[in-house]
Structure 1
Amino acid sequence: MPTSAIPTVDLSPFFTAGDDESCRKKCKDLIAEACSDYGFFQIVNHGVPLDLINQAMELSKTFFNYNDEVKRECSSSPDSPLPAGYNKQPDHSPDKNEYLLMFPPESPFNVLPTNPPDFRHRSSKELLRSDGENTENGRSVSPTTTKILEEMFKYFVTTCEILEAIINDCLGLPPNFLKEYNNDRSWDFMVTMRYLPATESENNGITEHEDGNLITIVLQEDIEGLEVCKDGEWIPVIPSKGTLAVNLSDAIQVLSNKKFKSATHRVVRPKGRHRHSYVFFYNLQGDKWVEPLPNFSSAIGVKPKYRGFYYKDYQALRMRNKTHPPSTPEEIIRIAHYEI
């Protein structure tokens, strides 16, 4: 049985006005410790409304209950430069899940579903016909149609910006350093996922891995399955109403020269039922150069543990892991590829 538990941090001091610096410092200390020990923590009072979370999860379940033909109506075309919309893991993949991927709301690459009606956003102006009647695909709809996917995306961005500022301070970097370094939000993306029920012979949802971006947020439903590895032990990230899981990713591990960890994690599928989640990836722009910062290497007389690389090159290698699966686990490209 696991002997450790993932820390939970209350972010409310960062959403309240006034001088609450002692509470903010306590939060930062907890996060700094979690980033050093686990690369993973959970947050409450994070700014994402609970009613929006509940609606998003229910609409996700409704969407994935449609048959494959309906779901594939919002798949991107084979020649699309980015895999937006609905996708399902191929039968030969060890990962057993299907997902809907969304880039920032203004992205021209998004392919969002029209059903359930409240899942995607159509602006009131777009819905309003010249005769004053509001329609979508021939149906009468309210001009206040809930913008669930876009609202979730925007709230996740805001929460990540707060986390980024906290991590910046935890690392002792100059004010706003990470914000200025990572100032392009066009590469962020969000997926809503459904994992198939486990079988008698296997239960892999997502194979153990680290994320390649900066910060990842996970919204789980009330079903366990997400696990993080610490010292060879797999620790469950226990879901709780209104709680979000946060993991640091490879870019932070490289920038900090391993001061903070990129968490190794996996998803184990439950028996007898599907499992749903939302995952938000707070990304770097592809042309960004990533290497250990002097603050954690040359400036303190420590050798860099990684050679530098362009973020887009690393992402291309990670994508090749999926499109051309290696024959052995040892051949999978991970951040260790750049280790010195």
Structure 2
Amino acid sequence: MVVLAKAELEQIALPAAQPPMADVRAVDLSAAPGPDRAAAARTLVAACEEQGFFRVTGHGVPQELVRAVEAAAAGFFALPQAEKEGATGEPVGYGCKQIGDGGDLGWIEYLLLCLTSAGTVPAASFPFSTLPCAAVCTERELLEEYAAAVRRVACGLLELMAEGLGIEPADTISRLVADAESDNMLRVNHYPPAPRPEQQAGRLLTGFGEHTDPQIISVLRSNGTTGLEIAGRDGAWASVPPDADSFFINVGDALQVLTNGRFRSVKHRVVVSSERSRVSMIFLGGPPPGARLAPLPQLLGDGGGRSRYREFTWMEYKSCSHRGRLVDDRLRPFEN
């Protein structure tokens, strides 16, 4: 259970605004080779250029698997607080209200798990020692099956993206997520129901503050509860309609760099106002720690031949991003 002191509640309080609904483009990942796939690739590129955010249909991830993982996650977050806190590791495991090292707070508790390139959960990053052996095996197997499935979605999208951009070979970007050393993670967020109205004084609460994702791509699924908002190019917020069947995709900072700024890393946040719990599961596809990131040579023409970013390693950028606040523009120090 998330418990915040009065001063902490004040820190994460937001005006009770009602942003408009976002118009989110849909990309069909099951489109057959030919005109349909070419059209899907064009839609994907346009979505990445305009919003840095879209939803995916035809992804092939069974709904039964998604619901089973959501149920397992809800079961974990319903455990007594002491048992959840026993699943804390470094840098993975259980966390509550504190997001990162910069002092950001949110109406949130979460699990953070490291993944292998194949989507499996290494034993060292599966911090459920407090659960019975049978439960540990079941939960780990479920998470591994789910993580492997959404990793395939991420790689399929990155290959379709390469087609839409005219980049060869088709795995130029996806192999950064599929490498044996890829820094892939699974984040499971739980936003409990909003506290009593008298505690909020008519305001909303920040579940997860305004930020961009540092990785290449994020594949997000929630349990059909509202709260996710994205910022447009003008800075105005729009609410993302819940979708029971689709996955939502965020362009990350690393992909913005690889495309020389042609794709934008979308600013997003989660606002809590519902009486229903929100559970979201995010696959964060990152490159290997030593991978060198810079605009792809095939795309430098989009910036007049000039690279907007200097070359840097993923570990260098990840270390830098973890030191700041969520709202910080983390790419600025790496601009040319």
Give the CA deviation at 1:320: 1.3
Instruction: Output the CA distance in 2 between the equivalents of 1:278 and 1:37.
Output: 24
Is 2:196 the partner of 1:196?
no
Give the CA deviation at 1:275: 1.3
- Say if 1:6 and 1:214 are closer, same or farther in 2 by CA, change over 3 A: same
Cα deviation 1:55-106 (Å, max 9, x = unaligned): 1111111110111111122211xxx4xx222121339633221111122225
TM-score where L is the length of structure 2: 0.82
The match for 1:335 is 331
8 Å CA contact 1:103, 1:186 repeated in 2: no
Cα deviation 1:37-60 (Å, max 9, x = unaligned): 011000122111100111111111
Cα deviation 1:264-309 (Å, max 9, x = unaligned): 1111112333211101101111111111222222697422111221
Instruction: Output the CA distance in 2 between the equivalents of 1:278 and 1:319.
Output: 20
- Say if 1:115 and 1:59 are closer, same or farther in 2 by CA, change over 3 A: farther
Instruction: Output the CA distance in 2 between the equivalents of 1:223 and 1:295.
Output: 40
The match for 2:216 is 214
Counterpart pick for 1:150 among 144, 149, 152? 144
Instruction: Output the CA distance in 2 between the equivalents of 1:47 and 1:72.
Output: 34
Counterpart pick for 1:109 among 109, 124, 139? 124
The match for 1:84 is 92
Counterpart pick for 1:173 among 160, 167, 173? 167
- Say if 1:117 and 1:22 are closer, same or farther in 2 by CA, change over 3 A: farther
Give the CA deviation at 1:108: 4.4
Structure 1 residue matching 2:104: 3-state secondary structure: coil
8 Å CA contact 1:121, 1:147 repeated in 2: yes
Instruction: Output the CA distance in 1 between the equivalents of 2:28 and 2:92.
Output: 33
Report the AA paired with residue 13 of structure 1. Answer: A
Structure 2 residue matching 1:319: 3-state secondary structure: helix
Which structure 2 residue ranges, 5 or more long, are not aligned? 1-18
Deviates most, 53-62 or 90-99: 90-99
Structure 2 residue matching 1:191: 3-state secondary structure: strand
The match for 1:23 is 36
Instruction: Output the CA distance in 1 between the equivalents of 2:140 and 2:296.
Output: 43
Instruction: Output the CA distance in 2 between the equivalents of 1:243 and 1:118.
Output: 31
Is 2:7 the partner of 1:13?
no
Report the AA paired with residue 151 of structure 1. Answer: E
8 Å CA contact 1:7, 1:34 repeated in 2: yes
Which structure 1 residue ranges, 5 or more long, are not aligned? 15-19, 123-144
Indicate the percent of aligned positions where both proteins have the same amino acid.
27
The match for 1:52 is 65
Is 2:153 the partner of 1:159?
yes
Tell me the C-alpha RMSD between the 2 structures. 2.5
Instruction: Output the CA distance in 1 between the equivalents of 2:30 and 2:51.
Output: 22
- Say if 1:156 and 1:180 are closer, same or farther in 2 by CA, change over 3 A: closer
Instruction: Output the CA distance in 1 between the equivalents of 2:168 and 2:135.
Output: 40
- Say if 1:66 and 1:54 are closer, same or farther in 2 by CA, change over 3 A: same
Report the AA paired with residue 157 of structure 2. Answer: L
- Say if 1:189 and 1:118 are closer, same or farther in 2 by CA, change over 3 A: farther
Higher relative contact order (CA 8 A, sep 6+): 2
1:1-340 pair list within 5 angstroms: 1-2=19-20, 4-13=22-31, 20-76=33-89, 80=90, 83-90=91-98, 93-104=104-115, 105-113=120-128, 115=131, 120-121=136-137, 147-175=141-169, 176-182=171-177, 183-184=179-180, 186-199=182-195, 200=200, 201-230=203-232, 231-297=234-300, 301-321=304-324, 332-340=328-336
TM-score where L is the length of structure 1: 0.81
* Off by >6 Å, runs of 4+ in structure 1: 116-119
The match for 1:138 is none
Instruction: Output the CA distance in 2 between the equivalents of 1:6 and 1:259.
Output: 19
- Say if 1:298 and 1:40 are closer, same or farther in 2 by CA, change over 3 A: closer
Instruction: Output the CA distance in 2 between the equivalents of 1:61 and 1:3.
Output: 27
- Say if 1:171 and 1:277 are closer, same or farther in 2 by CA, change over 3 A: same
8 Å CA contact 2:110, 2:188 repeated in 1: yes
Cα deviation 1:172-194 (Å, max 9, x = unaligned): 21122223455245410101110
Report the AA paired with residue 107 of structure 2. Answer: K
Instruction: Output the CA distance in 1 between the equivalents of 2:217 and 2:302.
Output: 25
Report the AA paired with residue 75 of structure 1. Answer: T
Instruction: Output the CA distance in 2 between the equivalents of 1:58 and 1:280.
Output: 17
* Alignment length (residue pairs): 301
Instruction: Output the CA distance in 1 between the equivalents of 2:83 and 2:122.
Output: 23
